[in-house]
Structure 1
Amino acid sequence: MLKKKYFKKLLQQHLSSNEDNADKIKLFTSKEMEKATDYYNENRILGQGGQGTVYKGMLIDGSIVAIKKSKMVEGKKFDEKKVEQFINEVIILSQINHRNVVKLLGCCLEAEVPLLVYEFIPNGQKPISAQQSESVRSLVSYFLHSVQENSLFNILDPMVVKDGSEKEIIDVALLAKRCLHFNGKKRPNMKQVAMELELIKASGGNVIEERGDEESEIDDRIHSWETSPSSC
């Protein structure tokens, strides 16, 4: 109960500065989430990774949604820092309105592990699927596997390929790969990421170097992300 009140208070404080966002975010109950996912039935799992598990759910009104059970705040110990990270994720996602970005519908603060509820977009074969091999089940490993196999452009949305130059896309992908290093100390910080993105934008690409990453390191990273209970 204490955790739920803390979540609500912190979320309301953030949302109060933007009434438009406050109206967009719906707070779901834990019972609604249980019914929507058939009590988190494994058959409802869309994908799993270092950040959590995503379930396909159906709300009372019949609408289909994707429900993310985050590992960010999972565990018995109440960690205010992790709570704030979760709230910040909600705030950032609530401000995004783009045709190529899945819309955040709301969240559930009553559950032991807070949940994010997104719109569900069916697109045929799912890139993150329990039916695929272990090496490409999560979004992180799927991306790293595509980089390793030199098939990055096969997983990109056609609009992304059309709007950006090949050099820009490759440089952004290399930057993303560095951000996914399993050792947090080897990842660039947010300031460095922002600076490099600005450089890519200004130069039209060809800015970021591989920095000596070998294929074996990518293999280790894919395995680490798949076997870890949570990201570091």
Structure 2
Amino acid sequence: HSKLPLTTWFLAIYLITQDKNSISALELKRKLGVSYNAAWRIKHKLMQVMKEHDDNRKLANIVQLDDAYIGGKQKGKRGRGAKGKTPFVSAISLNEEGHPIYMRLSVVSCFKKQEITDWAKKHLQEKTLVISDVLPCFNGLLAADIIHGSLPKNGKELHQYEAAFYWVDTMIGNVKNSIKGTCHAIREKHIPRYLGEFCFRFNYRFRIEDIFNTLIKCGAKSPPMPEKLLTLAESQW
């Protein structure tokens, strides 16, 4: 249900999926020759489609899990307890060789046990082995029938910790740099979509030839998304 021609949508999908880095709505406006509002709607509709597509796949095997924060303009404390930051869960599944397979980045309301339990029931297969740090909220994984192991981050075991969380920590840094580099200021309520886009692109990194067709198919199946819906705060996870 769009007034834009299909060729514009196809070009937008091509630009978003084939560009090495995420493309901003402003850059999309220039390349498509449309208004900024039109480019913004296109990008957010496609990001929502990406997020919903990826959220349907549960992570399995071995999963590295960590807490993270993004956004906020306040100076001062960083990380846990920082004001104005949006908390999100970063999870990445590994194959038997320890290489990353799929990624999930989900905004959460807080890092409490029940929140992690509910998140795990939606995003992790039962009996998945999850490795996290010793943040108390991650004990909520057990209530979701997840096998949970934790590792403290301290002087004695710092090297072991860094090895165990290498991929998830790397991805947290990458997504923050990607969002900062492409979109200098995004509203907190839209962060779930930007995280969803990053995951979608990462999860298809070895299937570049499929990502274009996949997004077209998913977009065609998605329900209409009027502007009023696009501008509302998104569901977290």
> TM-score by structure 1 length?
0.32
Q: Which has the higher contact order (CA 8 A, sep 6+)?
A: 2
